[in-house]
Structure 1
Amino acid sequence: MNEIKVLLVEDDADDHAIIQHLLLKIPNTRFLMDWVTHYDAALKSLATHNYDVCLLDFHLGAHDGLEVLAKAGEKMWETPIIFLTGQGEYEVDIRAMNLGASDYLVKDQLTAALLERSIRYTIGREISRKALQKANEELEMRVQEKTADLAKANRQLRQESEKIKLFAFSVSHDLKNPAISLYGLTERLFKNYGDKLDEKGKTHCEHIMASARQISTLVEGINLFIASKKTPLNIENLDLVETLAAIRAEFSERFRSRNLEWSYPSTFPLIRADRICLERIFGNLVDNALKYGGDQLGRIQVGVSETEHYWILSVSDDGIGIRTKSRDRIFGPFMREGNVQQSEGLGLGLAIVKELVGKHKGKVWAQSGPLGGASISFSIAKGTS
C-alpha cells in the first residue's frame, strides 16, 4: 500500500472532516495527514516538513491561501500545492495557477475519485519536474566541466603556439645571418679569385649564392607568415582603386616583360579593412598568378561583388589553372603547384593570404575562373571592426 504525506491547510472543521473521509475512501493508498488551520502554521509546516502534497484552502481568516502560495513561491518550497475553494471563482483560479498551484478544486464538487486523480497527477508532475531539474543540473555541471577543460586546452594551445612562434623567429634569425655571410663570402671569392677558378668552380659559386639567397628568402617568408598571425588589425575605410594602383606599380616591370594585361573595375564599394593586410593579400595573389600561370598567362583580372554580410574579392587569370584535387591544400604552408624543384617561391604566399583573410572573419577559396584559368576569391566580413 502506498503512503502519501499530506498537509491540509483548512480553517473549517467540517471541511476537514469531509476531506479526511474522502481520503479514506481512496483504495490502495494510506494518507498520513497533518492538519493546520491558519496562515502562520501553514508556513511553518511547509518550511520544516517534507510533504508529498499540500491541500490549501482559499479562506484562512485574516489571510488567504493565495498569500500562502505567494510565500511558498518566494521561499522556493518544493511541496506541490492543490488549491481548494468553496465555490468556483475564475479570477481566483487564474491567480492561484499563476502563483504556482498544481491544481484547482472546488470543494462543493469534490469526490474521492476527483481528489485521488488530482493528487496522483500532482505528485507525478512533481516527480517529473525533479527528475528534469536533476538532469539539467547534471548537464550544466558537465557543460561547466567541458568548458573548463576547453579553456585549459586553449590556454595550453596558445602557450604552445607562442613557443613555436618564438622558436621559428629564433631559427629564422639563426639561419639568416649565416646565409648572408655565406653569400657575401662566396661573392667575394668569385670576385677576387674568379679568374683562377675553372667553369666547374664558378658554377659551384653560383649555386652556393643561389642557395644562400633562397635561404634568406625562406627566412623572410617565415617571418611574414608568423607576423600575419600576430600583427593586430588597423581597420579603416579603404579605396581599393588606390590599393590596386599601388599593386600595379609594384608589379609593373613583370607585367611589361611578359606583356600581361591587368584590369580591375573602375569603381569599388567602400570597404573597411586593414590596408597593409589587403595590400599583402592582393600582392600575394598577383604574385601567385605570375608564378604558376604558365607561359600562356596573358591576363590578370580583379573582381568584386558583395552579399548581405560580406564583400567578395577575387584575382583571376587565363593561365594553366589549378588542378581540382589541389584546390583545398594550396592554402597550407609550403604547398606549391607542379614540380616543386621547378616551381618558384616558397609555398607560403597563399598560406599568408588565408591567415590575413581569417583575421577579417572571412574565407578564401580557389575555383575555375571566368578567364579560363585559376580564380582565387576571398571574403571580408562587413562587420569587421
Structure 2
Amino acid sequence: MDTRAKQTKLKKDPCIGLRKRIEELERELTFFREKYSENERLAIVVRDSNDAITVQDLQGKITAWNRGAERIYGYTEDEALRLNIFEIVPEDKKNEAREFLGKIAKGKTVDSFETQRLAKNGKILDIWLTVTPLFDNAGRITAVATTERDITERKQAQESLRNRIETIKLFSYSVFHDLKNPAISIHNLSKRLLRDLKETPKDTIEKYCQQIHRSSEQLVCLVEQLNVFISERETPRTIESVSVSVLIETIKDEFASRLEAAKVNLLVPADLPTLKADRISILRIIRNLIDNALKYGGKELSEIEIGYEEHDQHHVFSIRDNGVGVCEQDSAGLFEPFKRHKSAQGVSGSGLGLAIVREIAQQHCGNAWVDLSGSKGITFYFSIAKSLSLSPRRLKENILEQSNGTRKL
C-alpha cells in the first residue's frame, strides 16, 4: 500500500493512531510504576537499615537521616535536620571531616575509613564510614550520602581480646618461670644424690633431701593454686545463703595452731551478715587474706582484724593486720598473677593468692583493693554484690569498669 493509501485509511479510521498512543502510554505507565515500586523498596531499605544512612550538602548541613541514625546517635530525624554534621563530629576529627568533604566536592574518590562520631548522650562512638557523592541533573556533585556503622563494641571486643592474649602470654611465661626453678632444683639435687650416694655423708644427704622436699612443696603449691585460679574463672557459681559468722568459725579452727604459734590475735566483729554467694569461694577469699597476713606480716605482726560495712548495693569486708605492710611503690600489681612484693622474699608462695581473691570478688559483681593509708600494716578490702541477678553482659561491663580503678565496689 502506498503512502497516499495509508493516509487515506487513517483519515477514514482515526482511532488507529489513538489506540497506538494509548498503548505507548500504558507501556510508559507500567515502566514508571515498576520504577516507583523499586524506588519505594529502596527507600524502605534505607529508612529501616540498622546502619546510619545520612545525606548532607557540601557544607555539612544534614538533609536526610534514617532510623538507623536515630538509633545509633540518639537524635530524631527532626532534630538531626536542624544540625550540621560537624556538630556530631568530635573536636579532634573535625579537620578529617572537612578534608573528605573537600575531596568529594573536587570529584576525588574517598575510600571507606574508620572515624568517630559524637552521640546525643555525649558518648564517642567508633564508626566505619562509607561516602558516596550525589549528582544533580547537570552532573555536578551537590551532596554526600554516608553509610555509618557503629563498630564501638567490636573495637572494645578486639581490644579485650588483645589484652587477654597478652595476659595469657604473661601468664604462660610466669608459669614456666615459676615451675622451672623448683623443677631444676629437684633434678640437680636428685642427680647429685644418685651420683655421689656412696661417698656422700649422711648429714649432706639429709640436707639434699630437705631441699628436694622444699622444692617439691613449692611445685605442689603452685600447681594447686593454678588449679584454683583457673577453676575460679571457669567453674559456675553455686549461689546460696552463706553465714559469714559460720565461715569465720571454720577459718578460726583451720588457723588456730598457726595463730597460737605466731601469738597473733584474730579479731572478729559480732554483726557479720548472711549473704547470697558461693560458699566455697567466699571461704577461699577470707582464707587467702588471713594466710597472706600470717605469711608476710613479719615479726611485728600481733593482730589480724576482720571488718564489715554494709553499702547500698554491696557487702564490703576488710582484713587488716599490724605487720610490716607494703610501701606504695610495691603496691602496684598486687592483685596480678605471680606478682610478689619485697616483703615476700624468702617466704614460699605461688603469687596467685591475691589474684584469686580479686577474681572471686569480680565473679560476685564486686572488687578487691588495698588500703595503705594506715600508720602500720596493711588492709585488704573485698566487696560482694547484694544482688547477683545481673545479666552476663552487664556483669562483663561491671568487671571492666571495676578494673579501671583501685577502690570501686
Please give the TM-score of this superposition, normalised by the length of structure 1. 0.55
- Which residue of the partner structure matches residue 212 of structure 1? 216
1:144 maps to what in 2? Answer: 150
Provide closer, same or farther for how the CA distance between residues 322 and 162 of structure 1 changes in structure 2, counting only shifts above 3 A: closer
Match of 1:322 in 2: 326
Distance verdict in 2 for CA 1:341–1:259, change over 3 Å: closer
210, 231, 235: which one pairs with 1:231?
Answer: 235
Is the Cα contact below 8 Å between 1:182 and 1:209 reproduced in 2?
no
Change (3 A) 1:375 1:150: closer
Structure 1 unaligned blocks of 5 or more: 1-43, 49-124
Distance 1:156 1:268, change over 3 A: same
Deviations 1:247-301 (A, max 9, x none): 1111111011112211211222222221111111000000010011111111111
User: Are the equivalent residues in 2 in contact too, given 1:328–1:366 (CA < 8 A)?
Assistant: no
Corresponding residue number in structure 1 for 2:308: 304
Q: Mean Cα displacement is larger for which, 231-240 or 125-134? A: 125-134
1:8-157 matches, within 5 Å, as 128-129=81-82, 139=117, 142=128, 144-151=150-157
Q: Counterpart of 1:275?
A: 279
Provide the residue aligned with 2:360 in structure 1.
Answer: 356
Distance in 2, Cα, partners of 1:256 & 1:349: 23
Question: SS at the partner of 1:345?
Answer: coil
Q: What is the DSSP-based 3-state SS (H/G/I as helix, E as strand, rest coil) of the residue aligned with 1:312?
A: strand
Contact 2:320 2:378 in 1 (8 A): yes
The 1:194/1:350 distance shift into structure 2, 3 A limit, reads farther
| SS of residue matched to 1:361 | coil
Displacement of 1:327 = 2.6
Partner of 1:347: 351
Which shows bigger deviation, 335-344 or 235-244?
335-344
> Which residue of structure 2 aligns with residue 7 of structure 1?
none
Return the alpha-carbon distance in structure 2 between the equivalents of residues 130 and 368 of structure 1. 51
Rounded to whole Å, the distance in 2 between the matches of 1:266 and 1:308 is 20
The residue number in structure 2 matching 1:243 is: 247
Q: Is the 8 A contact 2:269 2:307 kept in 1?
A: yes
Q: Which one-letter code corresponds to 1:147 in the other structure? A: E
CA distance in 2, matches of 1:285, 1:256: 18
CA distance in 2, matches of 1:301, 1:371: 15
Counterpart contact for 1:328–1:365, Cα < 8 Å: no
Whole-angstrom distance in 2 between the partners of 1:258 and 1:126: 71
Gap change, CA 1:374 and 1:161, over 3 Å in 2: closer
Q: Which of 278, 292, 298 lines up with 2:296 in the alignment?
A: 292
Structure 1 pair 318–164 and aligned structure 2 pair: CA distance change class (3 A): closer
1:376 is aligned, of 376, 380, 383, to: 380
Question: Counterpart of 2:203 in structure 1: which amino acid?
Answer: E
Contact 2:296 2:343 in 1 (8 A): no
Could you tell me which residue of structure 2 aligns to residue 54 of structure 1?
A: none
**Residue number in structure 2 paired with 1:332:** 336
Aligned-partner SS, 1:366: strand
Q: 1:295 to 1:274 in 2, by over 3 A?
A: same
CA distance in 1, matches of 2:201, 2:229: 40
Cα contact 1:292–1:337 (8 A) shared by 2: no
Unmatched tracts of structure 2, length 5 or more: 1-32, 38-77, 90-115, 118-124, 129-148, 390-409
Counterpart CA distance in 2 for 1:159 and 1:209 is 35
**% same residue:** 30
- Partners of 1:126 and 1:153 lie apart in 2 by 34
Q: 1:153 to 1:243 in 2, by over 3 A?
A: same
Question: Helix, strand or coil for the counterpart of 1:331?
Answer: coil
Seen in structure 2, the aligned counterparts of structure 1 residues 229 and 198 have a Cα distance that, compared at 3 Å, is same
3-state SS, counterpart of residue 280 of structure 2: helix
Higher deviation after alignment, 336-345 or 236-245: 336-345
Runs (4+) of structure 1 exceeding 6 A deviation are 133-136, 155-165
The SS at the match of 1:329 is: coil
* Counterpart residue identity of residue 356, structure 1: I
Residue 153 of structure 1 and its aligned partner are, at CA, apart by: 5.6
Q: CA RMSD in A?
A: 4.5
Shift of the 158–345 alpha-carbon distance from structure 1 to 2, 3 Å rule, reads closer
Give, as a single letter, the amino acid of the residue that structure 1 aligns with 2:151.
E
CA distance in 1 between counterparts of 2:328 and 2:87 reads: 52
**Paired AA for residue 247 in structure 2:** T
- Kept in 1: contact 2:326–2:343 (CA 8 A): no
> For the residues of structure 2 that align with 1:381 and 1:129, how far apart are their CA atoms?
45
Residue of structure 2 in register with 1:78 after alignment: none
TM-score by length of 2: 0.52
Cα deviation code 1:37-93 (max 9, x no counterpart):
xxxxxxx9xx99xxxxxxxxxxxxxxxxxxxxxxxxxxxxxxxxxxxxxxxxxxxxx
